[in-house]
Each structure stands twice: as structure tokens, then as C-alpha cells.
């Protein structure tokens, strides 16, 4: 009887550990996208500025997923023969939009504005990582080929890091009222 | 302690547990969210940034201007347009709830054809081509038989260019029967104003600048004519900037309305005698020598029987009070007397309103700031009373009826037999965007846009002393397979050919509207000053309207005592039913949020507690608890209310602001086919009314019958927000007598 209890306890404890290991260390940080779009080719090799495609980043709360017309605008001419571009052409011909998978997702109770951050001069890479080196967008940082942490945990403490003292390096000043709850929770 | 065997077992259990936990974590992960981009982005849309479109509110006939907040093509919020001279940025609950009209799940999504017996509500969906061809064929057939004048068009109060288009259509088709109907169309008031102010319009009541407002049953803070404008005026009157007088408001009405609750004095006059009381006050004005005109003698003769003693016994208002009211009204400058819905809804409504207007004439308030300011004349044809439709239909004069947003079946008493009469009409087409009691009888429904999806405009009446036109533009794309009413008539005109094709040449209603506004532009008046029409039109859409803020100089009107006294009735209003069998007067009043019943399908309005009683969701009967003593009635009990003409059941609410000989019931509930939020809630008290309409104006007198009540059963479906009216020893309202206060020595 006593032994059985020990099994149960060990079972429950390891179950919890297993569950949390999955949630914490195996989140889907680099989901597969409907088209194998490479930021490395666009932003890295060809040095296209972020806001050439993410056109609302300095105007609105959202940065804006590029509309299909914008992709086709260049790819009418460029690399028409590549299989992934033909996928894109397929969407355009069918007049469908591309169901991209969201990588950075904030909960509803957080108010976040791209406009404010872009206007303040925060570089995109500060939160989104060095996308110019990524083939597929990922939030997983890799050291010697081993994934070890996330690029941006998107947790409140991480936000407050900059909001309380860490913003000087990019914007040259402290965030005003950085600790005000209402800045993000409205 | 732990042997090898047990150790392996534990490792096994642990490993299995961890694997199961890991697998569960994998399975319960939320699927990743999607980011759906635009295929081609709309020019004026930035995701996350709102566009505000100026438009016109169509929830009642006040004519307010609104701003619709639209994000990514969806309307999210409505606010008042701060530039608009009528509502000045304010908006009432009904205006706010307009969004729920747009997104109402009971909207008609496709054209419908009747499929089954009339009135059963069985319809099948058809295409627009099919629907329009059914209507076109019907109209062609009618015209080829030489019966074009047997086409009737019945709409709600439409005042903008759509009105002109419909009138043109009917004229070119060959039918004079274009009618507009609304339960509250203020025809009595217009008629009375013709006599005293000289115009068949509603003037601007300058509540904002008056110092003494004598309101005869005008519930102007909730429903009367233009409540948002009057609310603004009321605020100004009490504590407006630059005013050093706190205006006084005296409310004369048998049932304490929200306006009455805000008044300095409430005079619970006997129902039906308001007109007599007004004449009693007029008598005091003349007796006191406050009237400045040369014909004082004539007026004195005309009004000599309204001496305070006689008036006091009729109205149950004491002589002293009548004298004091008369003196105060005549000596406070400027003063203003207004007669509202209660007064206008007696069978002698016109003469009551004439009597009240007379007070303004006698104390010289007409054309003065803080008094009655005449409005510019509006292009207006006379109303045909709804009774004519019932009569014409029952005589089989109507072959085809086209309905647009009018719901007379709900707002006319059963005794008028309108529903039966409509059943005799061979073909009824409705352009309603929602099902209602009248549309339920239709053979063909061609659903029109709501006012968020359509072009249009509105010429407010009454305005604020100068012309005001509000423009309506599509704030969102149509949600369903609907068309604008104007577009329907334009496409009918195209297919019908003949005169219609010659007179109505525009490709759609938007083009027609623009063309029509060119004429307004060419007059070069108003406060939009632009060098070309293109800029004028853009400014107009950005500002939400056009107004010509130059008040018109009012011409003095000659008011002859002999002419006016012909319209005065010395008798109190008559009530049907004898007072032995039917002991209570019945007062029906428009509900704050449903008005005549049109708001009942909007859930926000259903759950908005009535400000005086805090009742939600139903119809209730307001009676004084004194009248209930000895009848064994408790609050919330279901009562059967009977008049000589009909009966309804509803729960009772004990209301101290109610004369014991009177019972009040709000209008608006008791719908039978007005969508899921309205149906089967409360009762429609219009069913209690006799088949009466005013011979001069066609208005339906709402306060024209007596009733009796019987207790049916215990409380059922009676929901109110307030708890008990007693403090239960909690000392919430702390009071002190003036004597005690003086003793405390704290007087300033």
C-alpha cells in the first residue's frame, strides 16, 4: 500500500514536470509557414528595409503583414521560376490571401503599439531578433547548434526591462512613466 | 531500503508519467493564430487606425448628425457630430444603439418571396433580378390597365432627397398616393403653430436662453421632437456659460416624466384639462395688464370664462397657483411655454396646443431669444392620415402597396382594422431591412440598406432657427445582399420605361444625390465656401452637413382673437368609456428607448432601465399606490387592463409620481414579429385605443380612453433595477429641518 502511494506520487510529479518541460522548452517558436518565405534573402542578402513591406509599422499599432499585391509587385518579374514563388502566384491567381502563421502573439489584455516604438527609434531587431539571418522566422536563439532560449519571451518583466532602465541605449533617454500600468493595460 | 527492483519500477513510472505529461502538453497546445493579410489593401484603411465617417442618425426624426467609427471596414461606435448644430456632439441612447440595427441578426439578408399564407411569415429567398422583375411586372400590369393611381407608397418620415426621388417616381408613374406615416409626426403641433406663429412647421424652442419654461407635458429630455437638442438647451438654461440666472422649469402633467422630475415645480393637473389651465393662465396675463398688444380688450372678451375659480374647479389646480403661474410667466423675461406629447395626444390636442401657444403670443415670446424662434419653411406636403389607407384598402382601392420602413400595423389601434384592410390588398412589397408587423403581410420583400450602408441626406425639422441639412454616406460596405431604397426605385424606373425613364435618368442613388446637391451648391449660401463643387462636396462629406447659420428675420404675425378662439375648446378633453365602469384615465407615453416601438429590437435598449421606474425588458402599468388600496394589489402583480375597445395584461408598478385617478403605460413593447429581441415581450397598449383620428391632422389621440383594472395573478416577469423604496433604517438619505439647521448656526 505504502509502495503504491510512492508510485502515485512519483507518477504525478514526473507528469507535471513532463507537461511543463513541453510548455516551457518546446513551444512552437518557429512554425512552418504556408510559403517558405525567407527573411534572410529579402532583408539580409537584398537589404530591403523592414518598412518597405511592413508598411503600417510607423503608422498604427500593428506593423502590417504585407498584402499579396505587394509581394506580386516585385515577383511579377523576379524569380518567377522558383517553386515557392509559383505558390505565391497560385494564391494571387486564385485571389486568395496567404494564411501566414503568427509567431509573435500578445494576449488581448496587453496594449502594444508598433508606432510608438518605431517612432521612439527602437530598432526592429531588438524584439524580433536578427531576422536578416533567419530563413524561417523563429523566436528560438541557438548557441553552437543547441536551442537554449527565446529571442523575446514577451513576458511583462521583459517589457519592463526597457521601460524602467534599459531604453537609454537605443532612444537615448528613459521611457517616460515607464512603470505606469496604464501604458500597456488599458 | 530501496532494492533494485523497486528502483527500476520507480524509474519506469516516472518515465511514463513524464512522457504522458509531455504528450498532454503537446496535444493541448492552442493552434497558432493566423495572420491574414489583405489581397489588395483598400486605400483609406490602415489596420488599427479608425476612420470616422460623418453621417446622419435615422433612429428618430430629430435629424442629429453622427460620426461613425470604422475600423478595418467595420462600424464600431457612433458618436454625435460636434459640428452639427442640432445635437452639438451629443447623442441619445437610441442613436448609440444604431450599431445593433446594422449588426442585427434578424436583418433580412436576401430578397424574399412569400411562400405560404399571407401573414404566416413564410418566405423563400430569391435573387434581386427575380425580386425586381416581380415588382416591375406588377407595376407594368397595373399601368397597362390604366390603374396607375391605385399604386400606394407608404414610407416613414423621409425628408431628404430620397423624398424628392420617390415623389418624382410616383408622379411619373401616375399615382398621387405617396404617403408618409409615423405615430409621432407632430401634425397637431404644426397645425397649432400655423394659427399662432403663422407657419405650418415646428419652430425652434429656445430653451437654452429662456428664464422661465412652462412645459405642458413636454417630456423634452427623453423623447419629445428633438431630445438631444433640448437636453443641450436645458443644460444651458440651468447653468450655461455666461448666464447668471438659473432658469426655472415648471412641468404641468398628470404623470411625472423624467422632465417633470427635473423641474422646479410639478403641477399634477387633471388629465385633459391642460388646455383649460393654459387659458386660465392667459386670463391672468390679460387681467394683470401684462399683455402689450392693442387688442387686449378683444382677448379679454374671448377668454372671460376662464377665470381662476372656474379653471381651478376643472383642472384641480388651486386658484392661487394659477394666479402665481400666470404672474410669473408674464413677468419673467424671456419666458417660454411648450406643449408636448401628452397634451397633443388628447382628442382636442390641437386646441390645447393653440391655447399654450397663445401664452407665448400674449407675453410676447414669439420671435424673441429665449422664446419661440420661427424656423425656415420646409417643403412639405400635407400628411394623409393613416385612416385613409385603412379606408382605401378596405374599399379595394389599393391594388399595390409599397412599404418603406413604416410599421403602421404596430402603431395603430386594432379598432382601426388596418391589418385586416391590408390583407385585402392584392400585392404588397416591402423595402424594410428588418421584419416587422407590417412587413409580415408582404408578398415580396426587397431588403434595403441600413443608414450605415447607404447614401442619403436629411433636412432636419425642426431646426434651430436656420436651415440644416445632414448628409449620410456609406460608412461600411453592405453586410448582406441588400440594396438602397433609392437604387431600387431608380432601377424600377429604368425597366418601367415611359415617363419614368425620361424623368429619372441617374444611374444610381449616389449620383442622383450628388447631382441634387449641385443645386444647393449653386446657391452659394451656407457656411461651406468653396470655389468649385468638387471641393464643396468633399467638405460636405467631411463635416457631415451643410447649414446656413443666418437666422431668418421673423415676420410679425397678426393673431386675431376671433380667429384663434374658434380653435379653442372650453371643455376638457373627452375620454371614451363612462367613469363608473372605467375609473381610470389612460395616459400612454413614448418610452425613452423604444419611442413608438422601433427600438424594441435592439438589446442594448431592452436592457436599459427606464430612468423613472428602473424597469427593464417589459411593459408595466404605472399607478399610484393610493389607488390600489382595497384592491389587494401588490407591486408586480399582473393586471388586466380593459378599455371599451381592447385589453392587455401587464405587471403593475407603484409610482408616486402618478395622479391616483390616472394610469400610465409606456409604448413600444408587445411586438409579434419584430425579431428575437422584441417578440413576446410586454404588451402593446395601443390596442386599448378607439378608432379615432384627428379630423384636421390625422393624428391618433393616444390619451382618449378610460380603463378599468382587475388583478389576474401574482408577479410574473417583472424586472426592475431598484430595490425597495424604503431606507430600512440604513439612514442613506440624511435630512434636517430648516429649524434644526438654523439652530446649528451654520448658516452662511
Residue B20 with chain A: CB contacts under 8 Å = 15, 18
Structural domain total, chain A:
1
Q: How many CA atoms lie within 13 A of B209 on its CB side?
A: 13
Q: Is residue A171 part of a domain?
A: yes
Q: Is residue A162 part of a domain?
A: yes
Q: What is the mean pLDDT of residues A119-138?
A: 86
The beta-carbon neighbor of A60 closest among B14, B37, B46 is B46
Q: Which residue of B has its CA nearest to A18?
A: B18
Cβ–Cβ below 8 Å for A18 and B36: no
Q: Domains of chain B, with CATH numbers?
A: 114-183+383-448+487-506 (3.40.50.740), 187-373 (3.40.228.10), 584-720 (2.40.40.20)
Q: How many other C-beta atoms lie within 10 A of the C-beta of residue B558?
A: 7
Closest CA to B135 of B425, B430, B523, B343: B430
Q: Is residue A126 part of a domain?
A: yes
Output the nine-digit C-alpha cell for B154: 407608404
pLDDT of res. B718: 85
- Does the global pTM surpass 0.90? no
pLDDT of res. A177: 78
**Taking the C-alpha atoms of A129, A130, A136 and A140 in order, what is their torsion angle to the nearest 10 degrees?**
-40
pLDDT of res. B748: 47
Cβ–Cβ below 8 Å for B17 and A14: yes
Q: Is the distance from CB of A136 to CB of A30 less than 8 angstroms?
A: yes
| Helix, strand, coil percentages, rounded to 5, for chain B | 35, 20, 50
Q: Is B737 exposed, middle or buried (0-12, 13-18, 19+ CB in 10 A)?
A: exposed
B507 φ, ψ to 5°?
A: -80, -35
Closest CA to B210 of B238, B179, B252: B238
Q: Is the distance from CB of B126 to CB of B111 less than 8 angstroms?
A: yes
Cβ–Cβ below 8 Å for B10 and A7: yes
A7 touches chain B (CB under 8 A): yes
Output the nine-digit C-alpha cell for A106: 500578445
Q: Is the distance from CB of B288 to CB of B282 less than 8 angstroms?
A: no
Cβ–Cβ below 8 Å for A97 and B33: no
A111 touches chain B (CB under 8 A): no
Grid cell 416577469 is found at: B717
Residue A154 with chain B: CB contacts under 8 Å = none
Q: Is residue A8 part of a domain?
A: no
Output the nine-digit C-alpha cell for B69: 467609427
Angstrom CA distances, A68 to A64, A75, A98, A125, B582, stand at 12, 10, 7, 24, 74
Radius of gyration of chain A from its Cα atoms, rounded to whole angstroms: 21
Q: What is the mean pLDDT of chain A?
A: 85
Residue-wise pLDDT for B670-693, tens only, equals 999 999 999 988 899 999 999 888
Alpha carbon distance B357, B278 (integer Å)? 9
The beta-carbon neighbor of A102 closest among B22, B33, B49 is B33
Residue A28 with chain B: CB contacts under 8 Å = 29, 32
A104 touches chain B (CB under 8 A): no
Q: Give how far A168 is from chain B: nearest CA, Å.
A: 28
Grid cell 375597445 is found at: B645
The beta-carbon neighbor of B21 closest among A14, A92, A101 is A14
Q: Is B650 exposed, middle or buried (0-12, 13-18, 19+ CB in 10 A)?
A: buried
pLDDT of res. A176: 79
Query: Please, which residues bridge with residue B54 across strands?
Result: B67
Q: Is residue A12 part of a domain?
A: no
Classify residue B212 by its DSSP letter. Answer: E
Cβ–Cβ below 8 Å for B18 and A61: no
Residue-wise pLDDT for A16-38, tens only, equals 888 888 777 776 777 888 999 99
**DSSP state letters, A30-70:** SPPPSS---HIIIIIIS---HHHHSTTTTTSSS--PPPHHH
Grid cell 382587475 is found at: B710
Residue-wise pLDDT for B400-432, tens only, equals 999 999 899 999 998 888 888 888 899 999 999
Determine the number of helices (DSSP H) and then strands (DSSP E) in chain A: 9, 3
Alpha carbon distance B454, B43 (integer Å)? 20
CA B191 from chain centre, in angstroms, equals 19
pLDDT of res. B333: 86
Give the largest CA-CA distance in chain A: 75
Alpha carbon distance B321, B317 (integer Å)? 7
ipTM of the predicted structure?
0.79
Q: Is residue A130 part of a domain?
A: yes
The beta-carbon neighbor of B49 closest among A12, A59, A67 is A59
Q: Is residue A159 part of a domain?
A: yes
Q: Is residue A89 part of a domain?
A: no
Q: Give how far B43 is from chain A: nearest CA, Å.
A: 12
Q: Which residue range(s) make up the domain with A178?
A: 32-65+100-183
Q: Give how far B23 is from chain A: nearest CA, Å.
A: 7
Closest CA to B435 of B425, B426, B443, B445: B445
For chain B, list residues with pLDDT below 70: 1, 378-384, 551-556, 714, 746-748
Give the largest CA-CA distance in chain B: 125
B563 touches chain A (CB under 8 A): no
Interface-testing mutation among B14, B20, B21, B33, with chain A (most A C-beta atoms within 10 A):
B21
**DSSP state letters, B286-350:** HHTT---STTHHHHHHHTTT--HHHHHHHH---HHHHHHHHHHHHHSSSEEEEE-HHHHTSTTHH
Angstrom CA distances, B190 to B196, B339, B351, B375, B688, stand at 10, 12, 12, 12, 27
Q: Which residue of B has its CA nearest to A88?
A: B39
Amino acid at each position: 500500500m505504502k509502495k503504491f502511494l510512492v508510485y502515485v506520487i512519483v507518477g504525478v510529479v514526473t507528469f507535471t514536470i513532463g507537461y511543463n518541460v513541453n510548455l516551457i522548452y518546446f513551444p512552437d517558436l518557429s512554425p512552418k509557414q504556408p510559403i517558405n518565405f525567407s527573411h534572410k534573402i529579402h532583408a539580409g542578402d537584398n537589404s530591403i528595409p523592414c518598412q518597405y513591406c511592413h508598411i503600417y509599422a510607423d503608422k498604427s499599432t500593428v506593423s502590417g503583414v504585407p498584402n499579396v499585391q505587394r509581394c506580386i509587385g516585385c515577383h511579377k518579374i523576379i524569380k518567377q521560376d522558383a517553386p515557392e514563388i509559383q505558390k505565391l502566384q497560385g494564391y494571387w491567381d486564385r485571389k486568395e490571401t496567404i494564411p501566414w502563421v503568427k509567431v509573435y502573439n500578445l494576449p488581448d489584455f496587453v496594449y502594444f503599439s508598433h508606432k510608438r516604438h518605431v517612432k521612439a527609434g527602437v530598432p526592429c531587431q531588438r524584439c524580433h531578433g536578427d531576422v536578416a539571418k533567419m530563413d524561417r522566422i523563429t523566436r528560438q536563439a541557438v548557441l553552437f547548434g543547441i536551442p537554449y532560449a527565446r529571442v523575446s519571451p514577451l513576458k511583462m518583466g521583459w517589457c519592463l526591462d526597457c521601460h524602467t532602465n534599459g531604453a537609454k541605449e537605443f532612444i537615448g533617454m528613459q521611457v517616460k512613466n515607464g512603470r505606469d500600468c496604464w501604458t500597456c493595460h488599458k | 531500503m530501496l532494492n533494485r527492483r523497486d528502483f527500476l519500477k520507480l524509474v519506469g513510472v516516472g518515465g511514463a508519467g513524464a512522457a504522458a505529461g509531455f504528450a498532454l502538453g503537446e496535444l493541448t497546445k492552442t493552434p497558432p493564430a493566423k495572420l491574414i493579410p489583405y489581397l489588395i489593401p483598400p486605400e483609406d484603411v490602415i489596420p488599427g487606425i479608425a476612420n470616422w465617417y460623418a453621417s446622419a442618425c435615422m433612429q428618430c426624426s430629430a435629424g442629429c448628425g453622427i460620426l461613425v467609427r470604422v475600423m478595418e471596414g467595420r462600424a464600431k461606435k457612433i458618436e454625435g457630430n460636434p459640428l452639427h448644430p442640432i445635437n452639438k456632439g451629443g447623442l441619445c441612447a437610441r442613436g448609440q444603439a444604431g450599431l445593433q440595427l446594422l449588426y442585427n441578426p434578424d436583418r433580412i439578408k436576401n430578397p424574399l418571396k412569400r411562400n405560404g399564407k399571407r401573414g404566416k411569415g413564410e418566405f423563400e429567398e430569391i435573387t434581386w433580378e427575380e425580386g425586381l422583375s416581380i415588382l416591375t411586372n406588377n407595376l407594368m400590369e397595373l399601368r397597362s390597365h390604366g390603374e396607375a393611381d391605385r399604386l400606394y407608397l407608404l414610407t416613414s418620415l423621409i425628408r431628404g432627397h430620397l423624398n424628392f426621388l420617390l415623389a418624382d417616381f410616383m408622379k411619373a408613374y401616375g399615382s398621387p398616393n405617396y404617403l408618409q406615416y409615423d405615430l409621432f409626426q407632430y401634425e397637431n403641433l404644426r397645425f397649432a403653430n400655423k394659427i399662432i406663429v403663422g407657419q405650418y412647421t415646428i419652430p425652434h424652442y429656445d430653451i437654452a436662453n429662456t428664464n422661465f419654461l412652462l412645459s405642458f407635458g413636454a417630456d423634452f429630455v427623453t423623447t419629445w421632437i428633438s431630445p438631444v437638442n433640448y437636453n443641450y438647451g436645458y443644460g444651458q438654461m440651468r447653468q450655461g456659460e455666461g448666464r447668471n440666472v438659473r432658469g426655472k422649469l415648471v412641468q404641468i402633467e398628470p404623470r411625472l416624466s423624467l422632465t417633470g422630475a427635473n423641474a422646479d415645480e410639478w403641477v399634477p393637473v387633471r388629465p385633459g384639462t391642460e388646455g383649460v389651465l393654459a387659458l386660465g393662465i392667459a386670463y391672468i396675463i390679460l387681467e394683470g395688464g401684462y399683455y402689450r398688444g392693442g387688442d387686449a380688450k378683444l382677448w379679454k372678451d374671448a377668454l372671460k370664462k376662464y377665470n381662476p375659480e372656474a379653471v381651478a374647479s376643472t383642472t384641480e389646480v388651486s386658484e392661487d397657483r394659477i394666479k402665481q403661474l400666470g404672474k410669473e410667466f408674464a413677468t419673467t423675461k424671456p419666458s417660454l411655454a411648450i406643449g408636448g406629447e401628452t397634451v397633443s395626444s388628447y382628442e382636442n390636442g390641437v386646441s390645447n396646443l393653440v391655447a399654450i401657444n397663445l401664452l407665448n403670443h400674449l407675453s410676447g415670446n414669439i420671435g424673441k431669444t429665449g422664446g419661440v424662434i420661427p424656423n425656415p419653411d420646409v417643403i412639405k406636403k400635407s400628411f394623409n392620415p393613416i385612416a385613409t389607407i385603412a379606408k382605401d384598402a378596405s374599399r379595394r382601392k389599393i391594388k399595390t402597396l409599397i412599404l418603406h420602413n413604416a410599421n403602421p400595423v404596430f402603431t395603430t389601434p386594432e379598432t382601426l382594422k388596418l391589418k385586416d384592410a391590408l390583407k385585402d390588398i392584392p400585392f404588397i412589397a416591402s423595402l424594410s431591412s428588418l421584419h416587422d408587423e407590417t412587413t409580415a403581410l408582404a408578398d415580396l420583400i426587397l431588403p434595403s440598406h441600413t443608414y450605415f450602408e447607404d447614401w442619403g441626406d436629411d433636412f432636419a425639422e425642426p431646426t434651430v432657427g436656420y436651415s440644416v441639412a445632414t448628409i449620410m454616406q456609406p460608412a461600411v460596405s453592405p453586410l448582406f445582399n441588400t440594396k438602397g431604397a433609392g437604387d431600387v426605385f431608380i432601377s424600377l424606373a429604368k425597366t418601367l420605361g415611359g415617363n419614368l425613364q425620361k424623368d429619372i435618368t441617374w444611374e444610381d442613388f449616389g449620383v442622383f444625390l450628388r447631382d441634387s446637391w449641385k443645386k444647393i451648391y449653386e446657391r452659394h449660401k451656407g457656411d461651406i465656401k468653396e470655389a468649385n463643387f468638387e471641393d464643396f462636396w468633399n467638405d460636405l462629406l467631411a463635416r457631415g452637413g451643410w447649414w446656413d447659420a443666418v437666422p431668418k428675420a421673423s415676420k410679425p404675425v397678426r393673431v386675431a382673437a376671433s380667429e384663434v378662439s374658434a380653435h379653442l375648446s372650453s371643455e376638457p378633453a373627452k375620454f371614451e368609456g363612462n367613469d363608473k365602469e372605467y375609473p381610470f384615465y389612460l395616459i400612454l407615453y413614448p418610452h425613452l428607448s423604444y419611442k413608438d416601438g422601433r427600438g424594441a429590437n435592439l438589446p442594448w435598449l431592452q436592457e436599459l432601465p427606464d430612468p423613472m421606474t428602473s424597469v427593464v425588458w417589459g411593459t408595466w402599468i404605472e399607478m399610484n399606490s393610493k389607488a390600489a388600496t382595497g384592491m389587494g394589489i401588490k407591486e408586480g402583480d399582473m393586471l388586466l387592463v380593459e378599455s371599451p375597445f381592447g385589453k392587455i395584461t401587464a405587471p403593475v408598478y407603484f409610482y408616486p409620481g402618478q395622479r391616483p385617478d390616472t394610469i400610465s403605460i409606456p409604448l413600444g413593447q408587445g411586438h409579434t414579429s419584430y425579431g428575437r429581441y422584441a417578440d413576446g415581450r410586454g404588451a402593446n397598449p395601443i390596442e386599448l385605443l378607439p378608432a379615432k383620428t384627428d379630423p384636421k391632422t390625422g393624428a391618433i389621440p393616444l390619451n382618449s380612453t378610460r380603463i378599468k383594472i382587475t388583478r389576474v395573478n401574482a408577479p410574473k416577469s417583472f424586472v426592475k433595477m431598484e430595490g425597495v423604496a424604503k431606507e430600512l433604517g440604513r439612514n442613506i438619505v440624511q435630512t434636517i429641518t430648516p429649524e434644526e439647521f438654523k439652530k446649528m448656526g451654520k448658516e452662511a
